[in-house]
């Protein structure tokens, strides 16, 4: 791993990001249509909650606005993986065709170089919708807006994002060992759909799996409790930042392990 300073990588990323956005904005119709599709998908999720709560006033102790907050929290927390790590979806093709070899010869970190090449700008529409949902639910629940509350929200959103990023990094990196690895990446990505629900609605077996094996409960449920249920926050909620950092570090090491063993022969 090449050891260069943070400022160096920030300068490089700024230049790469500018070029990537310029290339995407040259196809404005595609950008507008894809962004609109993303917004409509999230609106459909919003409507599904409304329809559900037309028939049930609460779900296992969670009311409509708490569920909306959880939904918005999950949208915001999965935005970074979509915006900054979308190139993971192409990793298996680079490895299969032998094109990944180009990342092995530049004097910068391979993980950074590969991930920085793509920025999914339409994810910003999802971010805006998620923030709007959080603000709306927060207002309806009449929770006080304080600097401490906003700071907590920011920290735990970041920690939740790290968990989702870690899941995708690890799933994508399996392509270094498994030729047909798409189903693994697709499976892990679809797990995010369960993150918008409180873990308490699942069977105890799935609660254990979603907490300690496939930690999607740390994408929204556990970190959001710090804001929604401040008087009874479980230990797992408080350690969410540590869980996020640990899983991200492990996924990075796993990704780099595969990358450093890559022989460039393709398949």
- Convert the pLDDT of each residue in 28-60 to its tens digit: 666 677 667 777 777 777 777 677 776 666 777
For 15, 35, 40, 137, 205, the CA distances from 126, given in Å and listed in that order, are: 24, 8, 10, 16, 31
Q: Break the chain into its structural domains and give their ranges.
A: 6-260
pLDDT computed for residue 31 by the predictor: 65
pLDDT computed for residue 1 by the predictor: 43
CB count in 10 Å sphere of residue 235: 7
Identify the three-state secondary structure at position 107. coil
CA gap 207, 229 in Å, rounded: 19
For residue 62, list its beta bridge partners: 59
CA gap 118, 73 in Å, rounded: 24
- Convert the pLDDT of each residue in 179-224 to its tens digit: 888 999 999 888 888 888 899 889 999 999 999 999 999 999 999 9
The predicted model gives 231-245 an average pLDDT of 93
- Convert the pLDDT of each residue in 122-177 to its tens digit: 788 889 889 999 999 999 999 999 999 999 999 999 999 999 999 999 999 999 99
Q: Which helix (H) or strand (E) holds 63?
A: strand 62-63
pLDDT at 266 over 70: no
Terminal-residue alpha carbon distance, the chain = 25
Percentage of the chain surpassing pLDDT 70? Answer: 90
In this structure, what token pair is assigned to residue 207? 């609660």
CA gap 124, 113 in Å, rounded: 22
């Amino acid at each position: 791993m090449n050891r260069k300073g943070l400022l160096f990588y920030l300068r490089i990323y700024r230049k790469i990001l500018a070029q990537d956005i310029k290339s995407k904005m040259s196809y404005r119709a595609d950008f507008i249509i894809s962004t609109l599709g993303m917004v409509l998908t999230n609106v459909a999720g919003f409507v599904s909650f409304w329809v559900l709560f037309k028939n049930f006033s609460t779900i296992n102790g969670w009311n409509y606005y708490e569920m909306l907050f959880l939904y918005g929290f999950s949208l915001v927390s999965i935005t970074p993986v979509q915006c900054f790590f979308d190139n993971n979806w192409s990793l298996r093709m680079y490895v299969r065709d032998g094109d990944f070899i180009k990342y092995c010869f530049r004097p910068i970190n391979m993980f950074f170089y590969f991930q920085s090449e793509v920025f999914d700008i339409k994810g910003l529409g999802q971010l805006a919708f998620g923030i709007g949902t959080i603000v709306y639910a927060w207002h309806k629940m009449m929770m006080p807006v304080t600097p401490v509350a906003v700071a907590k929200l920011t920290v735990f959103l970041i920690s939740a994002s790290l968990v989702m990023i870690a899941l995708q990094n690890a799933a994508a990196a399996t392509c270094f060992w498994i030729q047909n690895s798409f189903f693994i990446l697709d499976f892990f990505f679809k797990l995010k759909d369960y993150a918008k629900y409180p873990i308490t609605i699942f069977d105890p077996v799935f609660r254990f799996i979603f907490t300690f094996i496939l930690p999607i409960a740390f994408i929204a449920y556990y970190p959001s409790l710090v804001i929604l249920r401040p008087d009874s926050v479980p230990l797992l909620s408080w350690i969410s930042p540590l869980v996020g950092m640990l899983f991200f570090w492990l996924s990075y090491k796993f990704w780099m392990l595969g990358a450093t063993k890559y022989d460039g022969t393709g398949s």
